[in-house]
Amino acid sequence: MRIELDVNGEQLEADVWAGESLLYVLRERLGLPGSKNACEQGECGSCSVLLDGELVCACLVLAAQAEGHEVVTVEGLAGAEGLHPVQAAFARAGAVQCGFCTPGLVVTTAHLLERNPDPSEDEIREALSGNLCRCTGYAKIFDAVKLAAGT
Amino acid sequence: MSAPPARKLQLGRVGETVQRVDAIPKVTGEFAFSSDLFAAGMLWGHTVRSPHAHARIVSIDISQAVPMPGVQAVLTHEDVPGAKHYGLEFPDQPVLAIDRVRYFGEPVALVAAEHPEQARRAASRIAVEYEPLEPIVDAERALAQEELHPNRPTSGHGYREDPRPNVVRTMVVRHGDPDAEGDVSVSGVYELGIQDQAFLGPESGLAIPDGEGGIDIYVATQWLHVDRDQVAPCLDLEPERVRIHLAGVGGAFGGREDLSMQIHGAMLALRTNRPVKIVYNRQESFVGHIHRHPARIWAEHRADRDGKLKCVRMRILLDGGAYASSSTAVTSNAASFACGPYAVENALLESTCVYTNNPPCGAMRGFGAVQTCFAGEAQMDKLAAALGVDPVELRLRNALAPGDTLPTGQKLTGSLPVAEVIRRCAAIPVPEPDGLPRDAIRLPGGSGNVTRGEGVRRGVGFAVGFKNIGYSEGFDDYTAARVRLFTDRSGGLVAEVHCAAAEVGQGVSNVLVQVARTELDIVDDVLLAPHTTATVDSAGSASASRMTWMSSGAVRLACAAVREELDRRGGSLDPGEEIDIERIYRHPRTTPLDPETGQVTGERAHVAFACAAMRVVAEVDTELGLVRVAWIGTAQDVGKALNPQAVHGQIEGGTAQGVGLALMEEIQTEDGLITNASFTDYLIPTALDMPRVVAELVEDAEPDAPYGVKGVGEPPTVVSTAAVVAALRAATGRELARVPVRPEHLAGL
Ligand code: FES
Ligand code: FES
């Protein structure tokens, strides 16, 4: 079936199978592999995207369900002026190692700071608890969130 | 006019915190991981795997799968073009199972189709008839059961002869008088479950036929050249016709030392003459790579009244699972580091690894030293209690120092500041306990804890760990680097660094660039060429905490040679002119351990060592059996920090993996079948589980290493499991001899 999606402010069309997730369609059909697939079960947060401004796991949303809604992926965060402050903070704070968790965490953090511009460490932990990172032990990710909150 | 600056590149030299060279593409989502690759006309591969832990294959019928929609190839062992077996160190593993499967998830057949779902559907139509056999699942009983590998793949390699069935390797280290008595003796039996690397980026890669019978494989791996050397014989190709290129690696931790999709993808691509991509899903990833060896350890420590260790006796039994992988080296490491970083006059250390039908085990961060550190440090605490000595003080009294002799007879000639890391760690102030009542997020179990914290008890634990840096026991360990110097269009002098060192997230790419910036102060820019087998010799593996040391050694040599050549040419290059030099770096030579005594046969069996001390504060809700790790402080021997921010990142991340093993991480099996192959059931620490880690870097230069550097990845993982469980013991008074510690082991005090 043919669906039309609003992704990062662009109208995109794709031929999909009915069972394809939003994550699969973004990655494999629309050339947007920034959102990562590390579990496909809603357990790791690597696929986090914004759907009408709400944080969702793209692996749990059918592509067809996203029709008529605004999707923002990690590729859509940077503006004409350059990196999104959260992206710049992750790079500076050393919050990136292998980087597989990074797109999901960047989207989750952007969403957090949108709602709560000055989160406490506990609030950061709570907000990020759905995003697994195997490399960093999270400390520098918390630093990055604080750095981004201050910018 | 003022004089030009002495250096053109002021920033980004060795010893400075430098932003990762791949940081920007990784935060924008542009960085291509192995699972993100795409090629025109690409097919999707899928692997059919055994549902049994042990079975005879009666027949494989692919006839129903071949005509399925979109299917371009269905392959079995009969289609393997060359050698039917491969292996990281011993070729004991079939590319595709032939007449028998020896573990749950063993690859049996392959499909390539236009869409991944078509490949999965066709795979489900492949009819494999199995005759289930009794699985060997108990490591102790395996030593008296039918041989899983009657040809004994690891025998004849200079290891101790052990005639018992299913032995992968036995290593015995005899040091001094193993019967020496002390004034006090403590003993215990310890156990560790199977830990998984659980890297986030699943196994994946893209194989592209070159149209002339050769193949290019883009894959996430830890050692490009050893992949090539395993892949080529199975494809019946000369090694040059197999080119392995590093694709973006989503974490490794040892789990990518062995092959995953490399041969399979190449077989499908060569058969269809189209690019083939294979991506494992999470469940497949859990069965698709080796794990950390589970272990059972019997330990006895004897000491005199003053707390000086007199004799350590330890028997270590490792379950290697179905294939050898790197088990022989893990076996030896477990014995070599069994006594911990302590001087011991007498020891008897016996380490055995067996084949079973459990999931195959091999390399994981800490490599044998994690298991024995957990047992040995519990013993040190028992000894401290028996003697009435402070546990930190007991460790200081026994701390190894340069000039001491290890149980293998190797004299410590390099750096190993054990007492210093203990003192520095012990001096980090421990915070006051959080008061009660408090926000549930700060209670053990977090918001799931509905109490007011009345059952919470606090404990403080301390542990010390150490392990080797680099490959050991006579292995010819080297790293090549190539530096090309040329002038760019604007006349600037540019150095391009080629090195096949796998960037797995640890930050080795920065090391390569920082070294070149440091050594070539004449250049205007340093570029990093792709990591590949096509343009440069082997870098060796991104493992054993060796890559920073080895690759910085190699790049430094190549830079020096380039510099010399440039001077010879008068100090500058004309446009179009270039200098291109490759150099190989080797660390000091090691020799094997004697198979009978486990003693060194030359000066050293291990190149160098690194140690870490860690203090952990944990809170246990003794009603619910839930844990909160409240605080971690550590001091680590790093030699020299080439990029301090990255070193701290390694310490924090390595610590988290040890916390995971202590509290939650275990691959569970039933008769050899994995029952928790998902992130729903195999839990790793989240942002709620990990406290901040206060880390002190102890810089004590390693005399044999470039810049005095040591590896930093493994020591935190070695020590943290032991330190966390020590804190839980202090909180509960329980023995807690098995990890991961489960709630029922803590509840109901
Ligand atoms: S891939 Fe969607 S949550 Fe893991
Ligand atoms: S940086 Fe590797 S998973 Fe987070």
Q: A129: domain CATH number?
A: 1.10.150.120
Give the whole-angstrom CA distance, residue B536 versus residue B479. 10
- CB atoms A17 and B200 under 8 Å: no
Say if residue A29 is in the same domain as residue A60: yes
Does A59 sit in the ligand 1 pocket, CB within 6 Å?
Answer: yes
pLDDT at B318 over 60: yes
CA distances, B300 to each of B179, B189, B309, B449, B728 (Å): 11, 9, 11, 39, 22
Quick one: pLDDT at residue B162? 97
User: By the 8 A CB rule, do B200 and B216 touch?
Assistant: no
Query: Rounded to a whole number, what is the distance in Å from the CA of B252 to chain A's nearest CA?
Result: 9
DSSP-based three-state secondary structure for A85 = helix
Name the helix (H) or strand (E) containing A125. helix A121-128
Quick one: pLDDT at residue B749? 81
Tell me the pLDDT tens digit for each residue of B195-224. Answer: 999 999 999 999 999 999 999 999 999 999
**ipTM for this model:** 0.98
Say if residue A16 is in the same domain as residue A72: yes
Domain count, chain A: 2
CA distances, B8 to each of B140, B253, B523, B559 (Å): 63, 37, 7, 16
Q: Which of A57, A76, A95 is the C-terminal boundary of a domain?
A: A76
Say if residue A68 is in the same domain as residue A106: no
The token duo for A103 is 């797109």
Please list every residue in chain B whose beta carbon sits closer than 8 Å to the beta carbon of residue A36: 33, 35, 200-201, 250
Does A133 sit in the ligand 2 pocket, CB within 6 Å?
Answer: yes
Which atom of ligand 2 lies nearest, measured to the CA of B250? 2
Q: Which of A30, A52, A76 is the C-terminal boundary of a domain?
A: A76
Quick one: pLDDT at residue B2? 43
Q: What does the DSSP 8-state code read for residue B253?
A: T
Residue from the list A37, A46, A134 with its beta carbon closest to the beta carbon of B198? A134
Query: How many residues can be counted in chain B?
Result: 749
pLDDT at B308 over 60: yes
Quick one: pLDDT at residue B6? 47
Burial classification of residue B435, based on how many CB atoms lie within 10 Å of its CB (0-12 exposed, 13-18 middle, 19 or more buried)? exposed
- CB atoms A122 and B442 under 8 Å: yes
Say if residue A136 is in the same domain as residue A105: yes
Going from the Cα of A135 to the center of ligand 2, the distance in angstroms, rounded, reads 4
Quick one: pLDDT at residue B8? 56
The token duo for B638 is 């790093």
Q: Which amino acid is at B525?
A: D
Quick one: pLDDT at residue B11? 66
Q: Which of A24, A51, A76 is the C-terminal boundary of a domain?
A: A76
DSSP-based three-state secondary structure for B442 = helix
Tell me the pLDDT tens digit for each residue of B253-275. Answer: 999 999 999 999 999 999 999 99
Angle, helices A121-128/A102-115, rounded to nearest 10 degrees: 130
From the CA of B22, the nearest ligand is: 2
Say if residue A71 is in the same domain as residue A6: yes
Residue from the list A97, A126, A139 with its beta carbon closest to the beta carbon of B693? A139
Give the whole-angstrom CA distance, residue A55 versus residue A112. 9
Please name the residues between 418 and 457 in chain B that touch chain A, using a CB distance below 8 Å: 439, 441-442, 447
Say if residue A98 is in the same domain as residue A40: no
Q: What secondary structure does DSSP assign to A46-74, as a single string?
A: TTEEEETTEEEEGGGSBGGGGTTSEEE-G
Say if residue A137 is in the same domain as residue A113: yes
Say if residue A98 is in the same domain as residue A132: yes
What are the structural domains of chain B? 23-29+478-586 (3.30.365.10), 34-133+227-241+256-276 (3.90.1170.50), 406-468+608-746 (3.30.365.10)
Please list every residue in chain B whose beta carbon sits closer than 8 Å to the beta carbon of residue A147: none
Quick one: pLDDT at residue B4? 40
Residue from the list A34, A41, A126 with its beta carbon closest to the beta carbon of B29? A34
Going from the Cα of B34 to the center of ligand 2, the distance in angstroms, rounded, reads 15
B255 touches chain A (CB under 8 A): no
Tell me the pLDDT tens digit for each residue of B2-52. Answer: 444 445 565 689 999 999 999 999 999 999 999 999 999 999 999 999 999
For residue A6, give the CATH number of its domain: 3.10.20.30
Going from the Cα of A101 to the center of ligand 1, the distance in angstroms, rounded, reads 10
Does A87 sit in the ligand 1 pocket, CB within 6 Å?
Answer: no
Quick one: pLDDT at residue B3? 44
Give the whole-angstrom CA distance, residue B244 versus residue B234. 15
Determine phi and psi for B331, rounding to 5 degrees.
-60, -45
Say if residue A89 is in the same domain as residue A72: no
Average pLDDT on B232-255 reads 98
Please list every residue in chain B whose beta carbon sits closer than 8 Å to the beta carbon of residue A33: 29, 32-33, 35-36, 38
> For the sheet containing B578-586, what is the strand order?
B525-528, B493-498, B478-487, B578-586
Does A46 sit in the ligand 2 pocket, CB within 6 Å?
Answer: no
- CB atoms A91 and B24 under 8 Å: yes
Does A40 sit in the ligand 1 pocket, CB within 6 Å?
Answer: yes
CA distances, B140 to each of B167, B173, B395 (Å): 11, 20, 32
Q: Where residue B448 falls among pLDDT bands split at 50, 70, 90?
A: confident
Average pLDDT on B282-309 reads 98
Q: Which amino acid is at B427?
A: A
The better pLDDT of the pair B437, A24 is held by: A24
Average pLDDT on B400-427 reads 97
Determine phi and psi for B554, rounding to 5 degrees.
-70, -45
Please list every residue in chain B whose beta carbon sits closer than 8 Å to the beta carbon of residue A34: 28-30
Nearest to B303 by CA among B264, B345, B340: B345
Q: Is the peptide bond before B437 cis (omega within 30 degrees of 0)?
A: yes
Average pLDDT on B52-56 reads 98
Give the whole-angstrom CA distance, residue B615 versus residue B723. 6
Average pLDDT on B356-378 reads 98
Q: Which amino acid is at A94?
A: G
B690 touches chain A (CB under 8 A): yes
Domain that holds residue A65: 2-76
pLDDT at B242 over 50: yes
Say if residue A62 is in the same domain as residue A99: no
Quick one: pLDDT at residue B9? 60
Quick one: pLDDT at residue A80? 87
Quick one: pLDDT at residue B10? 56
Tell me the pLDDT tens digit for each residue of B715-745. Answer: 999 999 999 999 999 999 999 999 999 999 9
Give the whole-angstrom CA distance, residue B728 versus residue B715. 21
Name the helix (H) or strand (E) containing B215. strand B215-219
Which residue has a Cα nearest atom 4 of ligand 2?
A133
How much is the mean pLDDT over chain B?
96
Say if residue A17 is in the same domain as residue A39: yes
Tell me the pLDDT tens digit for each residue of B553-587. Answer: 999 999 999 999 999 999 999 999 999 999 999 99
Give every residue of chain A whose pLDDT is below 70, as ranges.
none
Q: What secondary structure does DSSP assign to B55-113, as a single string?
A: EEEEEEE-TTTTTSTTEEEEE-GGG--S-SEE-SSS--EESS-SSEE-STT-EEEEEEE
Average pLDDT on B457-466 reads 98
Please list every residue in chain B whose beta carbon sits closer than 8 Å to the beta carbon of residue A30: none
Q: Which amino acid is at B382?
A: K
Which atom of ligand 1 lies nearest, measured to the CA of A47? 2
The token duo for A139 is 């400390």
pLDDT at B714 over 60: yes
Say if residue A90 is in the same domain as residue A39: no
CA distances, B436 to each of B450, B457, B611 (Å): 13, 12, 37
Average pLDDT on B130-159 reads 97
Please list every residue in chain B whose beta carbon sits closer than 8 Å to the beta carbon of residue A35: 29
